[in-house]
Structure 1
C-alpha cells in the first residue's frame, strides 16, 4: 500500500561476532566412594531449656529443601489431638488447645503428629537430650535452611574449577581424587567430573565406567561446558573403555588420551594403536608420583597429567600449539625408561612416535614427546591440527546456529553470513592460531532448487599450523673460511 509520509525500514546485513569455544575443558570419569554427600535442609524451633526444641528436617537432601516451610497454628477447640498436614511445601501443625483456646500441645505431641503424615516432605524429631514435655505455642511459618546439593552425584557431570578445595570433596579413596591431583599439578584446569559407583567385580566396574562416559554428553546441557579432553585413568587400558572414550570424543569433537598397561612393551602399544582413529592419543609409560596422602612413591597412569599438561599449554601458548617437547610437572620418575638419542631413528622413543604413540623423555627435565593421534593421515594425525579444526568448526557452527538458522534467504543473509565467518577467520589469523583461510558461497550447490528448499551452502577453507615435527639441517665443509682466517683476507 502507498504511504503519504516517511516509511521506516531496518536491515540486518552486519556481521556477527564469533567467540572461540573453550577447548581446555577436561572430561574425567572415575570412582570416589567417600565423596561428601548433600545436606538436608533443617530448622530448630522452641528451646531446650523449655523442653520444646524440635528439629524439622527435609526428607531429601539438597538445596531445594530450603524452600520448604513449617508453621504451627491453634487447632479446633474440640480437636482430640494435635494434627499435621503437608501441602505445597508447607507443613502445617494444628496444635491441640483447651476450652479457652490455649495450646496444650507438647513437643512430643508434634513429633507424633508429623510422623503420622505419610505424604510429608519434612520429618520432625526432638532435640537430643530432651523429653519434649514442654508446651509449644503457635509460631509463624519459617523456612528450612542450610540444605546443600550433593557436589558429585553419581553419573552426573559436576564441575571442579581448578580448585584443590573442591577436589577434596571427592574424598581420598577411589580414583578421582588422585586423578585431580595429577591434573592440578600441571594447571588450574576446569574439569567436568563424572563419579560412578565403585564395584569389586571388574566387569561390573567397567560397566559403571562406560555409563559414566555416556554421561559426559550431558555436560553442555547441564553445565554449559563441553569437555574437549576425555580421560578415564586406571580404566582406559581396557579397550572397551577406550572405544567408548573414542566414540564420545567423536560426538563431542574432543580428543581422548588412553593409558597403557603397567610395563607394556613398545610392540604391544604400537599394535594397540592400530585399533584406534584420529581422536585418540595413546600414552606410555606410567609415571611415578609422590602420593599426597601417604607420601609413598606410587605408579600412576599418565593420562591425567597429560590432560593437565594440555590445558597448561593451551593457557601459555594457545590450543594450536603442540604439547610435545614441553616440560611436564608433578612426578618424580617413570615406570619405564625408553632409549632417547637426538637424531637416532632407531631409539625407542622415536619408534614409538612413528607408531603414533606418545611417550616421555628426559631432556633438561621430563618432557612430553609425541604429536600424533592414531591415524595415518599426514596432517590430521597431529593433535594440534585436530584441535584447531575443532575450535574453528565449533565456533562457526555455534555462531551460525544462533544468528542465521531460520532467517529469510536473501541478500542480507548472504552478506552477513559470509562476512561474519571471514571476519572470524581474519581474527584468528591475527591471533596466530591459523595461517590463513576464507569463506564463500558455493556457486554450484546454491541452486534455485536448493535455496527454495531452505538449504544454503557455504565453503570454508582453513590453513592450520602443523607442528615442526622434523627439522632437517644439511651441513657442509667450506674451507674458504679457513683460508680467510689464515691469511687475514675477507672471505
Structure 2
C-alpha cells in the first residue's frame, strides 16, 4: 500500500436518515369507456393521469368512466390510474371484465391491472373503486386487490332499502372496505366516485388521519332515497346504517357522507382512519429504512435504523397524524445465529387518531345565575 502524505477525508454514512412520506391520495379506478381509443386509454392497462381533465377527455362521453371521472373532478384534481375494460354481453359478463384475471402470458386484466401500476407507472393506487359496479363479487375482488396494494375501497351497499343494505353488508368482513348507502341522484356510481375524489381531497388538505365523514361533497343535487338524519343521532336512518357499519349519505348543510366505519371483523380496525393510518405508517417506515437493506449488520446499523424509525414516527406524532408511536430493538427476538444469517427484527407500535364519533354534552338547569342580578334600589 503506497504511503499517503497529506490529508485524506473519508465520508461516513451513519446516523439518522430523513423520513419518507406516504402517497395516499393516488386513485385507482376501473370502468368502461366505449368511445375511448387504444392510444388514449388502452384496454386492461393502467394509464397514469396527473390531470384528471385529460383522463376525462381520454374516456370520451360514454361508459362508466366518463361520469365517474367528472364526479371525482368535482372534488379534486388528483393523480389517477385508470384501467379501461370492455362491456360484456350482459352485466354479469361486464362484472367479470371489471374483476379481471391473469392471462397465461402473465398479463393482468381488469382491476388486477392496478397491481401492475407500480412497476409500469411508478405509483401505487391507494384509493380504489369501480363506480357503477356494485355486485358483491366485484366489491369482494376489489377488497382483495386493495389489501395487496395497502389501499382502501369505497363501494355501494346494494339494497332498495336499509334492511336490504344491511343484509348486503353482512357479506363482508374486510378492513380495507367502506360501504355507502344510498346513492346520489345523478347516476349509478356517483357516491363511490365522489367518495374517492373526496378521500383524495381530504388526504391533500387535512391528511389520512381524517375520515371521510362530515365533509361537504361537491356537485350533488339529491339523494336516490330519503335518509332521516338528526345530529342528535337517535333512532334515525343514518344511525341505523352506522350501527351496521354502513356510511350514510345525508343532506345537512350540504350533502355529506356520515360514518367512519369499515367492514372489519377486527375491532382495532373498525375506523377508516385506523386502516389508512396503518397503511400510511407501513409505507413511511418501509421507505425510510430502504437505505439500510444490504448494509453491514452491526450494532451501529441497528441503532441508526431505530433512530431513523423513531424520527419518522415522532414527525407523524408532532404533525398530528398519530397520537403516539415508538420503535425499538428487542435482543430477545434477535438470536446471534439469526443476526449472523442477515436477519434482523425491529418492533414499533403506534396509536392512530380515532374520530370523535360520539359527543355527549351534559346540560343542567339551574337558578344560581339569578344571584348575579344586582340589588335594585
Could you state the TM-score of these two structures normalised by the residue count of structure 2? 0.91
Helix, strand or coil for the counterpart of 1:169? helix
**Bigger CA radius of gyration:** 1
Q: Write the mapping of 1:163-182 to structure 2, written as runs, cut at 5 A.
A: 163-182=52-71
> What does the per-residue CA deviation read over 1:195-253, in whole Å, with 9 as the maximum and x for residues that have no partner?
01122233321211111111110011111110111101111x21111111010011001
SS of the residue aligned with 1:333?
A: coil
* Structure 2 residues not aligned, in runs of 5+: 101-109
Distance in structure 2 (CA, Å) of the matches to 1:315 and 1:245: 23
In structure 1, distance between residues paired with 2:249 and 2:55: 30
Distance (whole Å) between structure 1 residues aligned to residue 279 and residue 365 of structure 2: 46
Change (3 A) 1:351 1:487: farther
CA contact (8 A) 1:29 1:209 kept: yes
2:344 matches 1:446: no
- Count of matched residue positions in the alignment of Structure 1 and Structure 2: 365
**Alpha-carbon distance, 1:379 to partner:** 4.0
How many Å separate the matches in 2 of 1:2 and 1:446?
A: 42
Q: 1:203 to 1:449 in 2, by over 3 A?
A: same
**Is the CA contact 1:162–1:187 (under 8 Å) kept in the aligned structure 2?**
no
For the pair 1:288 / 2:185, whether they are aligned, the reply is: yes
Q: Structure 1 regions of 5+ residues with no counterpart?
A: 38-149, 290-297
Q: Do 2:52 and 2:69's aligned partners in 1 also have CA atoms closer than 8 Å? A: no
SS at match of 1:27: strand
2:200 paired with 1:311: yes
Structure having the larger proportion of residues in strand: 1
Question: Helix, strand or coil: the match of 1:304?
Answer: helix
* Map of 2:116 onto structure 1: 218
**Contact residue 175 and residue 234 of structure 1 kept, 8 A:** yes
RMSD of Structure 2 on Structure 1 (CA): 2.1
1:487 deviates by 5.0
Other-structure match for 2:287: 398
- Tell whether the 8 Å contact from 2:132 to 2:188 is kept in structure 1 after alignment: no
1:342 aligns to 2:231 (yes or no):
yes
Shift of 1:486: 6.4
Residue of structure 2 in register with 1:435 after alignment: 323
Paired with 2:4 and 2:37, the residues of 1 have a C-alpha distance of 72
Query: Aligned pair 1:278/2:175, yes or no?
Result: yes
Distance 1:200 1:446, change over 3 A: same
- Please state if 1:268 is matched with 2:164: yes
Q: Give me the whole-angstrom Cα distance separating, in 1, the residues matched to 2:4 and 2:255.
A: 79
The answer for the alignment partner of 2:103 in structure 1 is: none
Match of 2:343 in 1: 455
1:466 to 340, 343, 354: 354
3-state SS of paired residue (2:178): strand
Does the Cα contact within 8 Å between 1:162 and 1:184 map onto a contact in 2? no
Q: How far apart are the structure 2 equivalents of 1:409 and 1:2? A: 30
Whether the aligned pair in 1 keeps the contact of 2:157 and 2:169 (CA below 8 Å) is no
Are 1:229 and 2:127 matched, yes or no?
A: yes
Q: Distance in 2 between matches of 1:472 and 1:378?
A: 22
Report the Cα distance in structure 2 between the residues aligned to 1:203 and 1:225, rounded to whole angstroms.
Answer: 30
| Between 313-322 and 21-30, the greater mean CA deviation after superposition | 313-322
SS across alignment from 2:357: coil
Match of 2:310 among 416, 419, 422: 422
Q: Residue by residue, what CA displacement relative to the aligned partner does 1:126-183 show, whole Å, maximum 9, x if unpaired?
A: xxxxxxxxxxxxxxxxxxxxxxxx1211111002223323311211111111110111
Q: Whole-Å Cα distance in 2 between the matches of residues 19 and 7 of structure 1?
A: 33
Query: Contact 1:356–1:374 at 8 Å: present in 2 too?
Result: yes
Separation in structure 1 between the aligned mates of residue 370 and residue 265 of structure 2, nearest angstrom: 47
Tell me how far 1:7 sits from its aligned partner: 7.7
Deviation at 1:273, TM superposition (A): 1.9
Q: Is the 8 A contact 1:160 1:167 kept in 2?
A: no
Q: CA deviation at 1:15?
A: 1.6
Q: Give the Cα–Cα distance (whole angstroms) in 2 for the partners of residues 331 and 427 of structure 1.
A: 37
How far, CA to CA, are the matches of 2:49 and 2:182 in structure 1? 27
Residue 302 of structure 1 aligns to a residue whose secondary structure is helix
Is it true that 1:483 corresponds to 2:377 in the alignment? no
Instruction: Tell me the CA shift for residue 326 of structure 1.
Output: 0.9
Distance between the aligned counterparts of 1:347 and 1:285, measured in 2?
14
CA contact (8 A) 1:374 1:381 kept: yes
Specify the alignment match of 1:16 in structure 2. 17
**Contact 2:213/2:259, CA 8 A, preserved across alignment:** yes
> Is the contact between residue 13 and residue 415 of structure 1 (CA under 8 Å) also seen in structure 2?
no
